[in-house]
């Protein structure tokens, strides 16, 4: 979905379609996208299990499950091959008319099913082959329709509204305390005051900018370091950050302000609530096609002060869902008196803005 959305939504819509709910241009589901693959596999298997259980109601559950497993042997190769075919067709038929795209999406799985059965189950009669093809055709049509509707739900105007709601905000407490800290150093160390104002300006530019913007990872990390510098002026020795940034693809892009709010959360519920030193750990590394980020902070022993840690994270989660669908993950948990946030993002190399 991510790639689909990114490419589709950046393309101008023609005026005729704009009047109604806009129809996405690419109607063949993206078989290469993990979220699509997962939805198709789960959807079809649940359906197959239900059908198997219902059809074997008389003979009992065990027979039903056996039937399901046997069906799986046919189902899975057909689905996997169809996904690969969808992935290719999508690129090939990208500019074809809407109905041609839909027909292709519905028919290809039927053809694959027919071909597989004809090749490997020669004893099956012609009627059985045609029946199977019809089932595959109907299922493919249903799935394609589902993904088309989904794409329409995530149309630019709807997306726009959702992103608007998830726009980051500057916490007033942080803002006024930072200004106060700038005022404190202004007379004795004007250069430091200048630097703090520059850092604040950069942070504000990001916060007031488009939350959908993808920026180089290095730029986001730089913003995080500037934010930490401001906070360190304010909190002094109490705030310490251990940066463990591994090698990543130089063109790797992440949504703007995806890491800074997590670190801000760590400062807010760690350093601001704990009287002693607060060590925040930031670990960033690339594993194959995913980017892994772990950020953890110690938490106050008092359960009342532990609450609230989650709220800021929901905003990031919402934005990730809109940009990456199921391909990104944000998990937060308490382990050994530390609050840990793990973020997994798919690696995007393309220069793109989700619009």
Partner 1 sequence: MIVPLEQGTPFAGKAPMGLNVLIVDDEPPARARMRQLLADCGAQLELNIAGEAESGPQAIAKVDELKPDVVLLDIHMPGMDGLEAARHIVRRERAPAIIFVTAYEEHALQAFEVQALDYLMKPVGADRLAGALSRLTRRSRSDSLVRIDEVARSLGTERTHITVPERGRMMLIALEDIVYLRAEMKYVTIRTASREYLTEESLTNFEAEFGKHFVRVHRNALVSRKSIAGFERIRGEPKQTGRLGEGHWQVLLKELPERLPVSRRQWSVVRAAVKGSNGG
- Which residue lies nearer to partner 1 by CB, 121 or 277? 277
- What's the min distance (Å) between Cβ of 204 and partner 1? 16
What is the rounded distance in angstroms from the CA atom of residue 147 to the CA atom of residue 140?
11
**Three-state DSSP state, 346:** strand
Rounded to whole angstroms, the Cα distance separating 37 from 304 reads 42
Q: Does 87 bind partner 1 (CB under 8 A)?
A: no
- The answer to whether 96 contacts partner 1 (rule: CB under 8 A) is no
Instruction: Please choose, out of 34-42, 107-115, 267-275, 280-288, the segment that lies near partner 1 by the rule CB under 8 A.
Output: 267-275
Instruction: Yes or no: say if 339 and 332 are a contact pair by the CB < 8 Å rule.
Output: yes
- Binding range to partner 1, per CB under 8 A, among 17-25, 156-164, 282-290, 300-308: 300-308
Burial of 321 (0-12, 13-18, 19+ CB in 10 A): middle
Structure-block tokens of residue 28: 């063949």
Q: Which is nearer to partner 1, 4 or 273 (by Cβ)?
A: 273
- Rank residues 21 and 183 by Cβ distance to partner 1 and give the closer one: 183
308 binding partner 1? (CB under 8 A): no
Nearer to partner 1, 133 or 230 (CB): 230
232 Rama sector, left if φ>0, alpha if ψ -120 to 50, beta otherwise: alpha
Among 32, 80, 274, 321, binds partner 1 (CB under 8 A): 274
- Asked if 311 touches partner 1 (CB under 8 A), the answer is no
Contact indicator for 288, 246 with CB cutoff of 8 Å: no
333, β-bridge pairs:
340
User: Please, which residue, 176 or 204, has the CB nearer to partner 1?
Assistant: 176
Shortest distance (Å) from residue 234 CB to partner 1: 5
Quick check: 203 binds partner 1 (CB under 8 A)? Answer: no
Interface with partner 1, residue 282, by CB under 8 A:
no
Pick the binder of partner 1 from 96, 118, 300, 313 (CB under 8 A). 300
Nearest distance from C-beta of residue 274 to partner 1, angstroms = 5
Q: Pick between residue 234 and residue 317 the one whose CB is nearest to partner 1.
A: 234
**CB-facing half-sphere around the CA of 276: CA atoms within 13 A:** 6
- Of the two residues 125 and 303, which places its CB atom closer to partner 1 in the complex? 303
Q: Toward partner 1, which CB reaches closer, 183 or 287?
A: 183
Binding mask 236-265 for partner 1 (x = CB under 8 A): x-----------------------------
Tokens of 350: 């393309």
Among 132, 166, 235, 259, the residue binding partner 1 under the rule CB under 8 A is 235
**Range list of β-strands (E), the chain:** 214-216, 239-245, 253-255, 278-287, 290-298, 329-335, 338-346
> Min. distance of Cβ 176 from partner 1 in angstroms?
4
Positions 138 through 197 that interact with partner 1 (CB under 8 A)? 172-173, 175-177, 179-181, 183-185, 187
State which residue, 125 or 172, has the beta carbon closest to partner 1.
Answer: 172
- Single out the segment in contact with partner 1 by CB under 8 A; choices: 20-28, 132-140, 158-166, 273-281: 273-281
| Residue 345, C-beta contacts closer than 8 angstroms, at least 6 positions apart | 254, 258, 290, 291, 293, 320, 324, 327, 328
Provide the minimum distance between the beta carbon of 187 and partner 1 in the complex, in angstroms, as a whole number.
7
**H-run or E-run covering 23:** none
| CA distance readout (Å), 135 to 48, 125, 141, 279 | 11, 16, 10, 59
**Cβ density class 142-174: b for 16+ within 10 Å, e for less:** ebbeebbebbeebbbeebeeebeebebeeeeeb
Q: Which residues bind partner 1 (CB under 8 A)?
A: 172-173, 175-177, 179-181, 183-185, 187, 233-236, 272-275, 300, 302, 304
């Amino acid at each position: 979905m991510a790639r689909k959305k990114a490419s589709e939504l950046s393309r101008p819509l023609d005026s005729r379609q704009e009047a109604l709910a806009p129809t996405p241009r690419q109607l063949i589901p993206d078989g290469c996208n993990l979220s699509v693959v997962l939805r198709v596999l789960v959807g079809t298997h649940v359906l197959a299990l239900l059908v198997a259980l219902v059809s074997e109601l008389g003979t009992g559950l065990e027979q039903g499950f056996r039937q399901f497993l046997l069906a799986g042997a046919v189902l899975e190769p057909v689905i996997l091959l169809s996904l690969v075919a969808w992935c290719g067709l999508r690129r090939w038929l990208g500019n074809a008319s809407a109905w041609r795209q839909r027909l292709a999406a519905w028919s290809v799985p039927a053809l694959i099913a027919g071909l597989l059965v004809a090749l490997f189950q020669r004893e099956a009669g012609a009627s059985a082959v045609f029946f199977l093809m019809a089932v595959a055709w109907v299922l493919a049509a249903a799935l394609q329709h589902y993904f088309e509707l989904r794409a329409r739900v995530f149309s630019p105007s709807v997306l726009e509204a959702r992103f608007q709601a998830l726009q980051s905000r500057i916490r007033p407490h942080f803002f006024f305390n930072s200004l106060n800290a700038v005022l404190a150093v202004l007379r004795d160390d004007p250069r430091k005051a200048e630097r703090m104002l520059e850092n604040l300006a950069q942070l504000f530019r990001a916060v007031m900018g488009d939350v959908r913007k993808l920026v180089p990872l290095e730029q986001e990390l730089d913003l995080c370091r500037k934010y930490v510098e401001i906070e360190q002026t304010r909190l002094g020795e109490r705030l310490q950050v251990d940066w463990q940034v591994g090698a990543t693809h130089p063109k790797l892009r992440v949504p703007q302000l995806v890491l800074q709010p997590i670190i801000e959360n760590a400062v807010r519920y760690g350093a601001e609530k704990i009287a002693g030193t607060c060590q925040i750990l930031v670990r960033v590394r690339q594993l194959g096609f995913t980017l892994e980020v772990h950020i953890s902070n110690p938490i106050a022993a008092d359960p009342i002060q532990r609450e609230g840690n989650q709220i800021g994270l929901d905003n990031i989660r919402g934005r990730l869902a809109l940009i990456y669908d199921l391909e990104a993950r944000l998990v937060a948990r308490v382990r050994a008196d530390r609050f840990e946030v793990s973020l997994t993002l798919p690696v995007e190399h393309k220069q793109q803005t989700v619009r």
